[in-house]
Each structure stands twice: as C-alpha cells, then as structure tokens.
C-alpha cells in the first residue's frame, strides 16, 4: 500500500474515532409558557422540592413560573436554565405575561 493511501486511511480512521468519542452536550429542557416573574433576592433552584441545588437566580432575575405548589415550592425556570423548584416564600414578584 502506498504511503499516501496509508495516510488517507489513517486520517479517515482518526476522524471516525474522534466522531465516535465526541459527546455532544444537550442542554436540559425548560418548559415554555407561564408568566414571567422576578425574584426579590438570590434564589436557589433545586432539582426537586427540597432536593439538590442546581443553579442560583440572582436578586432581580427572571423566573418563568409554571406551577405554584401546595408544599411551599414553585416550579419554573430561570433564563437559559432547565426547570426546577424554588422556595415559594414571597420572593416571586411582578409576574406578567
């Protein structure tokens, strides 16, 4: 096999290996709809009520509200983030569509 064919085969094999091990990061999904609100203080967002902290919305930041729950939590998401739960203790302000 000539050296140019060998080099070509090596390049093709290398590209194939790179494609095979490349992991594409897909952002977590955020639901659409619901009023846009803001939070009046730094607010932790959890993966479940009382669960793991996943991100923080800074004071004055937006929160797309989907559901106000009876257990003291609200479901929604911050700008560019996935859905999560925040403590619903009066920090959600100025909601509008």
DSSP for 31-93 reads ---S-EEEESS-EEEESSTT--EEEEEPTT-EEEEEEE-TTSEEEEEETTS--EEEE-SS-EE
Q: Domain extents for the chain?
A: 36-96
Of 3.30.70.1290, 1.10.10.10, 2.30.30.40, 3.40.50.10210, which CATH number belongs to 36-96?
A: 2.30.30.40
Segment 50-76 mean pLDDT: 97
Q: For residue 92, what pLDDT band results from cuts at 50, 70 and 90?
A: very high
Residue 3, pLDDT score: 61
Q: Is the pLDDT of residue 87 over 60?
A: yes
pLDDT in tens, 5-59: 555 555 445 544 443 333 333 345 667 779 999 999 999 999 999 999 999 999 9
pTM of the model: 0.68
């Amino acid at each position: 096999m000539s050296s140019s064919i060998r080099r070509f085969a090596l390049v093709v094999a290398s590209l194939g290996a790179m494609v095979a091990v490349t992991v594409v990061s897909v952002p977590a999904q955020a639901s659409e709809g619901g009023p846009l609100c803001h939070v009046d203080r730094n607010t932790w967002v959890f993966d479940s009520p009382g669960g793991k902290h996943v991100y923080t919305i800074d004071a004055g930041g937006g929160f797309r509200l989907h559901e106000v729950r009876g257990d003291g939590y609200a479901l929604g998401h911050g700008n560019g983030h996935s859905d999560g739960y925040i403590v619903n203790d009066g920090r959600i302000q100025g909601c509008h569509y």
